[in-house]
Amino acid sequence: MAKKVLLPGQGATAHSLGIDEVAALLDSCDADSFAVLREALKSDTRKGIARLIARTERRLEVASRETARLEGLYAFEAQMAAERGVHVWAGLDEVGRGPIAGPLAAGAVVLDSSTRILGLNDSKQLSPEAREDIASRVKEQARAWHVAFVDNEFIDAHGMVASLKRAFSEALAAVQEALAASGVAVELALLDGNPLGFDAREANVVKGDARCASIAAASIIAKVERDRLMCEYAELYPEYGWESNKGYGTEAHLEAIRQYGLTPLHRSSFCTSFSQLSLF
């Protein structure tokens, strides 16, 4: 038999609710309405009700921690900007430093500090589906964004440091250009990792993709765009499995190189120890 509970906003009017009805209420409540519901349900002795209350407490605790984590990402970079007396900053991060095929990608993002993009995190901590979803929201909500690519030929010819500087410079210039029409200038470039010296506005944040909202956003869009490009390249060279390894040196990828040689998209300077450098 269903117990009597008091519903939020119903005063002292009691309603008989089944377990499923209580579950629907609890699953949709926020912290404030949960406090009211929990009070209304405190005399309900059904074990199922106790389990539902415990489940809701866990859900709201997880949500509270996630909200605090997200606010911390935004607060950290806002504090860095405030300490330097600047008002507009871009976050930058790269993807593709380690693969043996395909380009290097550098993302640059200028966020709107008045909005929050839920789920922002280090791209490595997210599933491919979550990255795609968040990347779409970054592109929709950011004040400016860009992903710059440096191809394998430039990497082979000039090395990784020069390639990183070129990629970040191009990405930063693109977001600056996007903001220029509104008379806004990027005053600070928050770069994930160690000093690179590619721009006078550079400020470095070790593990920045887990600490700064704009760097996290840059890491996500760079990852999504590079992965998408590698999947397109995989259709051109299906033997190498780029749709799954994204150009990294997995054992299956190395074995394909031994069997078929290098493609025009491989970084030959990365492959000298295990290939004969034969090209398509």
pLDDT at residue 9, as a whole number: 47
Contacts of 240 (CB under 8 A, 6+ apart): 101, 234, 253, 256, 257, 260, 263
Q: Of 21-25, 159-163, 239-243, 267-271, where does mean pLDDT reach its minimum?
A: 21-25
pLDDT of residue 254: 95
- Residues 202 and 191: beta-carbon distance below 8 Å: yes
Q: Which range (42-46, 120-124, 221-225, 262-266) has the least confidence?
A: 42-46
Answer whether residue 148 shows pLDDT above 60.
yes
Read off the tokens for 25.
Answer: 């209420």
pLDDT at 15 exceeding the cut of 50: no
pLDDT of 229 higher than 70 = yes
Whose CA is closest to 97, among 157, 175, 174, 149? 149
Torsion, CA 157, CA 160, CA 161, CA 164, rounded to 10 = 110
What's the whole-number average pLDDT of the chain? 91
| CB 148 within 8 Å of CB 165 | no
Predicted confidence at residue 13, as pLDDT, reads 31
Q: Which helix (H) or strand (E) holds 75?
A: helix 47-84
What is the structure's pLDDT at 10?
A: 47
Q: Is the pLDDT of residue 5 over 90?
A: no
Q: Give the tens place of pLDDT for each residue, 153-175.
A: 999 999 999 999 999 999 999 99
Cβ contacts of residue 280 below 8 Å, gap of 6+?
A: 237, 260, 261, 262, 263, 264
pLDDT-derived band at 14 (thresholds 50, 70, 90) equals very low
pLDDT tens profile 36-64: 988 888 888 888 898 999 999 999 999 99
Range from 40-49, 66-75, 220-229 carrying the lowest mean pLDDT: 40-49
Q: What percent of the chain has pLDDT over 70?
A: 92
Q: What is the mean pLDDT of residues 112-138?
A: 93
Return the residue matching tokens 């191809």. 151
pLDDT > 50? residue 108:
yes
